[in-house]
Structure 1
């Protein structure tokens, strides 16, 4: 299996791969906070107040009849829902690229699903997804 990226740790790891949920694009948005302070008779001044949010969005397609089956979207939902059952013990997920770069710890903040092609008895022949991850924000020691 050609793994593109993994999300999770140990038994709760989801593998994005050609055989499962293959993403076609990766978008990353990182923010830095520089709020403006208005001044009398001068342009507003800006002060750096730290990093803002860091988000990654994976957009992809699953062809359940070809490879991977129909359970891939539900597996992602279960990974995100684990926080519901773990309560205060919920943990962020480690994100690692297919070439071994550890991107740190992330949480799932959104999952959009579309089924543009439907087959017999309502089975999805194609599933498109958009998964949004946000950096956990580890404390600096």
Structure 2
């Protein structure tokens, strides 16, 4: 199985949910301070949340179908932030799934779709687990 990305235990691949589009939005936080007779000043407060959106199409005869989407939703319903890792080894951090949009097209007489368009949205959660791992690693290295 050629995996393009992993979210927790769920692999994104041709046989599960292959995505055609990947969009990442990074925000930055600023506090706005009012000033008399001048435009407001902005103070940098730090990095905001990253949001990642994956879009793709499922053809149940070739790729995953409704059962794969349902399996993905089971992991989403746990409400836990999981690491999002590309097959290249790039770690994006820990993310939660905030939404899944499915559009079923070309329905058979039994209501089974021949095509499912999907959009999955992830939002970065605090990387406390990664931060704790970094602290522990630093402490262990200092002991050696």
TM-score bracket, normalised by the shorter chain, equals: 0.7 to 0.9
Pair 1:101 & 2:97 matched: no
Q: Distance in 2 between matches of 1:69 and 1:127?
A: 7
* Alignment deviations for residues 87-126 of structure 1 (CA, whole Å, 9 cap, x no partner): xxxx311111022222221111111111122123110111
CA distance in 1, matches of 2:20, 2:47: 28
Match of 1:52 among 48, 51, 71: 48
| Counterpart check, 1:124 vs 2:120 | no
Q: CA–CA distance in 2 between the matches of 1:66 and 1:119? A: 16
Aligned to 1:110: 99
Q: Hey, what's the Cα distance between the residues in 1 that align with 2:40 and 2:63?
A: 56
Q: Which residue of structure 2 aligns with residue 16 of structure 1?
A: 12
Tell me the alpha carbon deviations over residues 25-81 of structure 1, each in whole angstroms, 9 at most, x when there is no partner. Answer: 011111101132221111211111122221100011111122324311101111111
Higher Cα radius of gyration: 2
Match of 2:127 among 117, 138, 141: 138
Please, what TM-score do these two structures have when normalized by structure 2? 0.83
Question: How big is the alpha-carbon RMSD for the aligned residues of Structure 1 and Structure 2?
Answer: 1.5
Count residues with an aligned counterpart.
Answer: 130
TM-score by length of 1: 0.84
Structure 1 gap segments, 5+ residues each: 84-90
Between stretches 66-75 and 100-109, larger displacement belongs to 66-75
Structure 2 contact 4–11 (Cα < 8 Å) conserved: yes
1:48 counterpart SS class: strand
Alignment partner, residue 141 of structure 2: none
